[in-house]
Structure 1
Amino acid sequence: MNTLTLTKKLVNLPSWVGNNSDEVAVGKFIEIYFRKYLPGINLTRQYLPGGKRFNLMASPPGAKLLIVGHLDTVPPQPAWKSDPFKPIVNGGKLIGLGTADMKGSLAAFLSALTNVCTRINPFGLALLFYCDEEYNFQGMKTFVSDAPVVKPGLILSLDGKPFLGSGCRGLIEISGAVYGLSGPSAKPYSGVNVIDQFVLSALNLKSRLSNFVDPLLGPTTTNLAYLQGGYLVSNKSKNEFGKIGNIIPDYAQFLLEIRPSMSSVNAKFVTKLLTRICKINSLKIQELNVKFDYSPWIPDYNSPLSKKLQDAVASASSTTSTANLFFSGFIDTALLNQIFPDVPKFVFGAGGANQHSAEEYVTVGNLKLTEQVYSNILTSFL
């Protein structure tokens, strides 16, 4: 089964999370594939909380290389014109949900591994195919929390584009409630407009955090992702906002997302700074909830194993270019720093620029290139 055919079969299986959809069918497909084409590699299930969804792992003792890749996709968007689960080839592009992120990469790896295993012992290879990358990172968090027995010398994520990458900014997500002071709108000085003042506070926070800059990862950025405010109708109903024009709003709920490029910027630092800024602007934060608090993944291109990996990639792609990490998104491979802090980690995949978009596609050329790169990496490290 070639990479193109295998990608199509994976896309045929919806694996977005929600409305009775999840990654289970893709996981079962991979289990069947290994039993048929890769019987020498033993995959085991690692169940997520809830007992239905599962990661797939191969954890041989003495593994040198750990390959990781996720099984889920984002949900299909209404803007899709073609059927997102019936992929088609058009103009050298394979169009379908998950082709770029990252079922094309997964198919390329399975094809490469199948071919390499005809001549090389695979027992130096550890694998993790995991759930929930696009949502709440439950698959990777389950793997990390279960203290895996593998101790690899190098980690490669398949969740990338066709150039070598290492590192990403972190992720902090904070939600909460903030209070001002109500009063008649005809007398602005009689109260504290919580919406006006919190916007000023968020802009101040954004400005201060932008001074934390890493030379490879770029600046720390801040996104005020949600703000809902009005006058508080009742202390018993924190979600009921009054919408009368002649009252100064005194209550708001917010969501802030920060992408830190330096490890000194963490949730504790941000919440302390935000609280101080709000106090200066006559606001009082009553509730704070931290959903994510993940440090940046600092790139490593200089270790001997990193150099060896770069050579393996260059021999297939005729390039030594690496990813531009300025304004990078968060990659949950960074969570592996919690258990493998000193192990070099990289990403390489077939993904393109339009992942998560309607009419998502991967080029057939990138599928072939990625399969060859994976073959070179496996041959070099096993």
Structure 2
Amino acid sequence: MSPPASVGGSVPDVVELTKALIGAESVTPARGTVFDVLERALTPLGFRVERFVEGEAPDGPVENLLAVRGDGGTHFAFAGHLDVVPPGEGWTSGAFAPEIRGELLYGRGAVDMKGAIAAFVAAAAKVPPRGTTSLIITGDEEGPATYGTPKLIERMAERGLTPDFCLVGEPTSAQRLGDMIKIGRRGSTVIDIAVIGRQGHVAYPHLADNPVPRLVRALAEIDAIELDAGNAWFQPSNIEIIDLAVGNRATNVIPARAAARISIRFNDAQRGPDLIARVEAIVRRHAPEAEVQGRVYGEAFLTQPGALSQLVSDAIQSQLGVTAELSTTGGTSDARFLSRICPVVEFGLLNATMHKLDEAVALADLEALTGVYAEILRRI
């Protein structure tokens, strides 16, 4: 989809650019047209745009975009993603046919997070360039993120680009625009467990090996763990049993396999690999031959309150008259990767409709967010 006439000029219209981005279907992993739209908006503003595709199925291919304006001075980076979750069935209008009804713009990605990307582009057009400004944009945040932001970070290292500060435009606002800034996130790990037994007739248990009791005992011990009590910035870590499967439809058969899945959300008192090892040790005490596979989707991180959070807070107060709460609540984001290279916080639109049917953003919030982002750029 080609951008509307107002996009690509010296001052992109934030609403029209958001509509153009929504109209470019980009279910994760994304590539192609949606990046064309963004590139056409950035190039007239003096950004040097580099696009590259990484990876193969099942986690790819993924397109990424790195745009840089300026050279030297303070380097301020804006990070985000153009991919979106599948729309689902039941939209009032087409999920990828942006439509304004009343004071709202509807479409998949309106708040998560094509609207914020459009707002930052519009803000960059309003503020005279100084220092270095970059956009770190991936097509794989909603998916495994294997070939997304981590590959962008590698590409930046090859180019000798290290931001001084990074703002991720995730929809962090809860009740009104500007009420919350994320300065950290909990980590996430998922562990799959399979206990293998030996199938047999329920009337002859001595000739079979039922895996279910062993799995249940292991899960009971795991479920009883209290990892920590939380701390000043994080809620307590929690372990959740999210799936339990045997798949035995017969009434007279001892099954040969029982499986479970565990999800752990943890604060900065824990480390993902240590949690996997702890769970595996418990499982193996009950079922030595069990299969245990864990994956760390992100470690917990915290950007201590300081220059960056104050910069964003002051811009919000100046433009919106709102005092932002500093928080670490919610799920994971690509800030977990970016926090390894520089201080990072997240601030963006209201999160009430993200991932839902009829996702929508208030037109006034798009304009207001543009104002906040512009104020941040002025204050750097």
TM-score with structure 2 setting the length: 0.84
- Following TM superposition, by how much is the alpha carbon of 1:292 offset from its aligned partner in structure 2, in angstroms? 2.7
Matched residue, 1:208? 225
Matched residue, 2:239? 222
Q: Percent identity?
A: 25
Matched residue, 2:21? 10
- Following TM superposition, by how much is the alpha carbon of 1:75 offset from its aligned partner in structure 2, in angstroms? 0.8
1:216 partner letter: W
Matched residue, 2:325? 322
Query: Which one of 53, 60, 63 corresponds to residue 54 of structure 1?
Result: 63
Task: Tell me, yes or no, if the aligned pair for 1:58 and 1:126 is still in contact at 8 Å.
Answer: yes
Matches within 5 A, 1:298-377: 298-301=302-305, 303-326=306-329, 328-338=330-340, 340=341, 343-377=342-376
SS of structure 2 residue aligned to 1:43: strand
SS of structure 2 residue aligned to 1:290: strand
Cα 1:266–1:102 shift into 2, 3 Å: same
Matched residue, 2:149? 140
- Tell me how far apart the structure 2 counterparts of residues 357 and 305 of structure 1 sit (CA, whole Å): 31
- Following TM superposition, by how much is the alpha carbon of 1:364 offset from its aligned partner in structure 2, in angstroms? 1.8
- Tell me how far apart the structure 1 counterparts of residues 82 and 230 of structure 2 sit (CA, whole Å): 33
2:316 partner letter: V
Matched residue, 1:85? 96
Query: Which one of 111, 134, 145 corresponds to residue 122 of structure 2?
Result: 111
- Tell me how far apart the structure 1 counterparts of residues 151 and 270 of structure 2 sit (CA, whole Å): 26
2:307 partner letter: P
Whether 1:266 aligns to 2:272 is yes
- Tell me how far apart the structure 2 counterparts of residues 197 and 366 of structure 1 sit (CA, whole Å): 54
1:222 partner letter: I
Matches within 5 A, 1:9-48: 9-17=20-28, 22-36=30-44, 38=45, 40-48=46-54
1:139 partner letter: G
2:351 partner letter: G
Query: Which one of 59, 64, 67 corresponds to residue 75 of structure 2?
Result: 64
Cα 1:45–1:210 shift into 2, 3 Å: same
- Following TM superposition, by how much is the alpha carbon of 1:76 offset from its aligned partner in structure 2, in angstroms? 1.2
- Following TM superposition, by how much is the alpha carbon of 1:291 offset from its aligned partner in structure 2, in angstroms? 3.2
- Tell me how far apart the structure 2 counterparts of residues 179 and 209 of structure 1 sit (CA, whole Å): 28
- Tell me how far apart the structure 2 counterparts of residues 29 and 353 of structure 1 sit (CA, whole Å): 26
Cα deviation digits, residues 274-308 of structure 1 (max 9, x gap): 2332244x32353233333521011421x234323
Matched residue, 1:294? 298
SS of structure 2 residue aligned to 1:164: strand
- Following TM superposition, by how much is the alpha carbon of 1:196 offset from its aligned partner in structure 2, in angstroms? 4.8
Cα deviation digits, residues 55-108 of structure 1 (max 9, x gap): 111344444211111110001101323211112222422111110101111111
Matches within 5 A, 1:105-254: 105-116=116-127, 120-137=128-145, 138-146=147-155, 148=157, 149-161=160-172, 162=177, 163-180=180-197, 184-185=201-202, 193-211=210-228, 213-230=230-247, 243-254=249-260
- Following TM superposition, by how much is the alpha carbon of 1:321 offset from its aligned partner in structure 2, in angstroms? 2.0
Cα deviation digits, residues 183-242 of structure 1 (max 9, x gap): 553577987643454345334324315435233221212333333225xxxxxxxxxxx5
- Following TM superposition, by how much is the alpha carbon of 1:315 offset from its aligned partner in structure 2, in angstroms? 0.9
TM-score with structure 1 setting the length: 0.84
Cα 1:35–1:344 shift into 2, 3 Å: closer
Task: Tell me, yes or no, if the aligned pair for 2:181 and 2:327 is still in contact at 8 Å.
Answer: no
Whether 1:277 aligns to 2:277 is no
User: What is the CA RMSD across the aligned residues, in angstroms?
Assistant: 2.6
Q: How many matched pairs?
A: 355
- Tell me how far apart the structure 2 counterparts of residues 251 and 334 of structure 1 sit (CA, whole Å): 36
Task: Tell me, yes or no, if the aligned pair for 1:102 and 1:351 is still in contact at 8 Å.
Answer: no
Task: Tell me, yes or no, if the aligned pair for 1:306 and 1:344 is still in contact at 8 Å.
Answer: no
- Tell me how far apart the structure 1 counterparts of residues 370 and 244 of structure 2 sit (CA, whole Å): 45
Task: Tell me, yes or no, if the aligned pair for 1:169 and 1:217 is still in contact at 8 Å.
Answer: yes
SS of structure 2 residue aligned to 1:214: coil
Task: Tell me, yes or no, if the aligned pair for 1:67 and 1:155 is still in contact at 8 Å.
Answer: yes
- Tell me how far apart the structure 1 counterparts of residues 320 and 221 of structure 2 sit (CA, whole Å): 45
Cα 1:361–1:28 shift into 2, 3 Å: same
SS of structure 1 residue aligned to 2:275: helix
Task: Tell me, yes or no, if the aligned pair for 2:191 and 2:261 is still in contact at 8 Å.
Answer: yes
- Tell me how far apart the structure 2 counterparts of residues 28 and 52 of structure 1 sit (CA, whole Å): 17
Task: Tell me, yes or no, if the aligned pair for 1:164 and 1:313 is still in contact at 8 Å.
Answer: no
- Tell me how far apart the structure 1 counterparts of residues 149 and 246 of structure 2 sit (CA, whole Å): 35
Matched residue, 2:113? 102
256-265 or 76-85: bigger deviation:
256-265
Q: Is there any run of 5+ residues in structure 1 with no aligned partner, and where?
A: 231-241
- Tell me how far apart the structure 1 counterparts of residues 356 and 373 of structure 2 sit (CA, whole Å): 26
SS of structure 1 residue aligned to 2:260: strand
Cα 1:368–1:306 shift into 2, 3 Å: same
SS of structure 2 residue aligned to 1:319: coil
1:265 partner letter: R
- Tell me how far apart the structure 1 counterparts of residues 149 and 322 of structure 2 sit (CA, whole Å): 31
Task: Tell me, yes or no, if the aligned pair for 1:61 and 1:150 is still in contact at 8 Å.
Answer: no
- Tell me how far apart the structure 1 counterparts of residues 230 and 209 of structure 2 sit (CA, whole Å): 34
Matched residue, 1:238? none
Task: Tell me, yes or no, if the aligned pair for 1:133 and 1:332 is still in contact at 8 Å.
Answer: yes
